Amino acid sequence: MRNVFTFFGVTLTLYSCDNSKMYRPTFMANSCIKEINRSYASIDTSPISIYKLDEIKKFEDDSPKLKVSFWHNNSWFYQGVKNFDHFDNTKLFKYESVDCPDGSDKNIGITDRLKKIDI
């Protein structure tokens, strides 16, 4: 009988520790992201791609989504809602944090600035 309780205890513990629903963002809200690997495009004709992560939202299905804007011609253009792993580095796409071209990342509060620090 003790083995049955141990089995159920271990099973419940492993089930509750499922990491698939955990999300740790690569970039913070109100930060700008630059695409650094541009091997898929003609470098001479393509401008540098800079994105702004406007907000990280949780939706009804409990999955986090990213609201993203794109920098073009000295203005931000809303690009839409993207999956939470949109800015994860892959073989084709690589990203890094960069200062926003319009300085909008300088106006964020102290708590958001502290969240940006890598410890």
* pLDDT tens digits, one per residue of 63-106: 788 999 998 888 889 999 998 888 888 888 889 999 888 876 65
- Kindly list the distances between the CA atom of residue 60 and the CA atoms of 1, 54, 64, 94, in Å, as whole numbers in the listed order: 41, 19, 9, 30
Residue 118 binned pLDDT confidence (cut-offs 50, 70, 90): very low
Task: Write phi, then psi, for 82 (nearest 5 degrees).
Answer: -120, 160
At residue 52, the pLDDT reads: 92
Look at the chain and report how many structural domains it folds into.
1
Is 27 part of a structural domain of the chain? yes
Give the chain's mean pLDDT: 73
- Residue 17: inside a domain: no
For residue 28, the model assigns a pLDDT of: 84
- Round to whole Å and give the CA distance between 111 and 49: 27
Domain that holds residue 97: 23-116
Give the length of the chain: 119
Antiparallel, parallel or unpaired: β 75-83 and 95-98? unpaired
For residue 104, being part of any structural domain is answered with yes
